[in-house]
Homo-oligomer: A and B are copies of this chain.
Amino acid sequence: MSPEKQQFYRHLQRAGLKRTGQRDLIVDIFLHTEDHLSSEDLYRIVKEQDASIGQTTIYRTLKLLVEAGLASEVRFGDGRSRYEPNNKFPHHDHLICTTCNRTIEFYSAESKALLDSIAASRGFHPTQQSIRIFGLCAACAGDSSHDSPPAINKRGVPDVIGVAK
């Protein structure tokens, strides 16, 4: 069993909760994505494996994953929550193209340090920081030295087009 699933079950145990087949399946699938899945996206994928699972269980399990520290909730301005597994990259931020909805992930240690020091100077104790840059990706801005805009994918899920470390 992966260390992430172990962490998940440790969380369940500590909280007096139970291990179930549904949670097993949902967590397995979730941990193997690195998309920014919405609850409904995940629901659709999970249903392919077990058509009897309900939306509600997806919502509840995603909440557990966040509590267990295995997932982060992100919002890109389309009015729905998306989730990303924390096991891929410990923390990263997003450039969000408001035209094609693709996202570019990046991580900047300098920004993080800068923001930490700003928080510290106000006596603030951060638990989470979120940086989002909205705008046009190179393709949508018509920059011909970059890829052309992608067709919107089947699920309407933003594709990740790159990770800048």
**With A115-B111, A118-B106: A135-B124 Cβ-Cβ less than 8 Å:** yes
What number of copies of this chain does the assembly contain? Answer: 2
User: Are B130 and A135 touching (Cβ within 8 A)?
Assistant: no
Interface readout for A135-151 with B: 1 if CB under 8 Å, 0 if not? 11110010101100000
**With A98-B127, A130-B131: A121-B164 Cβ-Cβ less than 8 Å:** yes
Interface assignment of A126: CB less than 8 Å from any CB of chain B: yes
Residues of A at under 8 Å CB distance from B? 75, 95, 97-98, 104, 106, 108, 110-111, 114-115, 118-119, 121-138, 141, 143, 145-146, 162, 164
User: Are A95 and B108 touching (Cβ within 8 A)?
Assistant: no
Chain B minimum-CB-distance residue to A162: B122
- Complex Cα distance, B124 from A137, in Å, reads 5
